[in-house]
Amino acid sequence: MIDFKKAIAEVLATAVEGLTAEEIYGMIEIPGDAKMGDYAFPCFRLAKTMRKAPQMIAAGVAEAIKDNKMFNKVEQVNAYVNMFMDRGEFTVQTVASVAEEKDDFGRSELGKGKLAIVEFSSPNIAKPFHIGHIRSTVIGNSIYKIYDFLGYETVRINHLGDYGTQFGKMIVAYRRWGKKEDVIAEPIKTLLSYYVKFHEEAEADPSLEEEARATFTRLENGEPEETELWQWFRDESLKEFMRVYNMLGIEFDSYAGESFYSDKMQRVLDELREKGLLKLSEGAQIVDLEEAKLPPALITKSDGSSLYITRDIAAALYRKEHYNFDKNIYVVASQQNLHFQQWFKVVEMMGYDWAKECVHVPFGLVSLEEGTMSTRHGRVVFLEDVLKGAVEKTSQIIREKSIAKGHLSEEEMEETAKMVGIGAVMFNELSNMKIKDYTFKWEKVLNFEGETGPYVQYTHARAATVLRNAEDALKKALEDPKAVDTSYISSDSAYELAKLIYRFPEVIVDAGEKYEPSIITRHVVDIAQGFNKFYHDEHILVDNEEEKKAKVLLTYAAKQTIKNGLALLGIAAPEKM
């Protein structure tokens, strides 16, 4: 696709003294108000070298470039050169690029030859996969898809919480109150009930906590009975987790959790000791981070047991040596900000300059209207139940809308309900800036009218319907996209839609640089709104074949770009709704 900004910079370079096209490129702005042009060039910086008032310089530059065929109009406003693009040329170049690149429209090679690890989801074994886990899961999945689209080789890691003192608690609870047949029937709910009972009983009998710590120590030491129970809990939990991942359409390249690094932690301790970084503090081993203005990093407890930080350092060392990553991205809640600051700093102090390639992507918490969740007290909402609920509610809505109109068969309704219901939950997560806390509300999630997943999916389906009703015109338009009559796609609504489509590739880059999928979500909503305005303002399926070809081609470009945007969010794009 033509980089219009680059082309403008090259034109301006012929009229501006003392600046290269590259320097000019960095100075070009996009006005917030379309009435001020599509692009603007500020001339303040030129006053010193050209020894003229910025307004005079802007007037001279505007005069020098006004006849270029790329522009419909060029005008000087104060110290700015405002440029209005030739609408027809801009639009046809944009839609032709979409027609040529299709599912690859927006893809780039920015990350070519580089590898990015994305660690996300990472639920705790033997605990519920609840609504609170959805943020890491869908944000991380979208970041992975964005980096893959930017040309990186990507590795998706589910760093399962499958180690730690809680497993001592779970084993103690199972031995005291558990039944094998109950765990087999409903693994997570049963194990959760044991975990809750343990904490209830421990309030009256604190010795249970000590028993749990001793049990975990035996697990760490590889005692067969504890290891067998732990492995069973892990296997049964993963089966349940996989049901949810399958519903979400999410896959991983590795399920290496905390336990995978249990035999790799001694190396970390030895290296910290050799480099003089370990200190004793009340029986525990720490790394002093006072110079970095951080609290000390606790490496081992006084009883010698390991902590998250030790395992995270061991994991980072393994990943660098095993994958040789260029980016190591952790999608973990903002509550863990200090933890990541600490262990990133420890890795840096160990002399590894790749510590700067480790990135923590924090996110806020999701709560329910009923209040906060607590695994310890059994107050949770299972994510699988939320997804099933979304599909059921969507099915009801679709049946009300579709049966009356006869749009969908029974099979199509079921499949569409899954795509829209699950897509609605995912879109809702990704439409919020990741750092913000928010409350999950059904009426917002499943709204077909607001800035929601169903609204965007419905818009895609609407565009698909238009194209099904204009197959011949679309086929002819796609034979030579640049040959369509641009006069038919130069209206305000058509041009605004084309500009939104054109910006899609740079939006992906921006989202990748900021680790912020909501940038794509917002832009996909904008394109959907832009198409609906075009659809409302223009009659697309007209008798004039040339006019139909041009408008259908723009419809195709909008539909394809919405589809590509939804794909980066991990969401399906239904052809019918």
What DSSP character marks residue 164? S
β-bridge pairing 153-157 and 115-119: parallel
Q: Which of 35, 48, 66, 127 is catalytic?
A: 127
Q: Which of 6, 130, 476, 559 is catalytic?
A: 130
Q: Is residue 127 annotated as part of the catalytic site, yes or no?
A: yes
What is d(CA 75, CA 323) in angstroms, rounded to the nearest whole number?
A: 53
Q: Is residue 539 annotated as part of the catalytic site, yes or no?
A: no
pLDDT surpassing 90 at residue 256: yes
Q: What does pLDDT average to over the chain?
A: 92
Establish how many alpha carbons lie within 13 A of residue 521's alpha carbon, considering only the half-sphere containing its beta carbon.
28
Q: Two tokens at 77? A: 């406003």
Residue range 463-482: mean pLDDT, rounded: 96
* Nearest alpha carbon to residue 132 among 378, 431, 374: 374
Residue 73, helix vs strand vs coil:
strand
CA 191 distance to own-chain centroid: 31
pLDDT surpassing 90 at residue 188: no
Q: How many residues does the chain have?
A: 577
What is d(CA 229, CA 170) in angstroms, rounded to the nearest whole number?
A: 9
Q: Kindly list the structural domains of the chain, giving each domain's residue range(s) and its CATH number in brackets, ordered by start.
A: 4-85 (3.30.1360.70)
Q: Is residue 133 annotated as part of the catalytic site, yes or no?
A: yes
What pLDDT sits at residue 80?
Answer: 97
Task: Please measure the distance between the N-terminal and C-terminal CA atoms of the chain and give it in whole angstroms.
Answer: 32
Residue range 206-210: mean pLDDT, rounded: 93
pLDDT surpassing 90 at residue 176: yes
Question: Please, what sign has the CA dihedral across residues 464, 468, 469, 470?
Answer: positive
Q: Two tokens at 251? A: 């896959």
Question: Which stretch of 18-27, 112-121, 382-391, 419-428 has the lowest confidence by average pLDDT?
Answer: 382-391
Tokens 């040596």 found at: 321
What is the phi/psi pair of residue 451, to 5°? -85, 70
pLDDT surpassing 90 at residue 150: yes
Q: Which of 133, 418, 476, 523 is catalytic?
A: 133
Residue range 356-376: mean pLDDT, rounded: 76
What is d(CA 500, CA 90) in angstroms, rounded to the nearest whole number?
A: 12
Burial call 566-576: b when 16+ CB within 10 Å, e when fewer: bbbbbbbbbbb
Sequence-separated (6 or more) residues with CB below 8 Å from residue 571: 419, 423, 426, 427, 453, 457
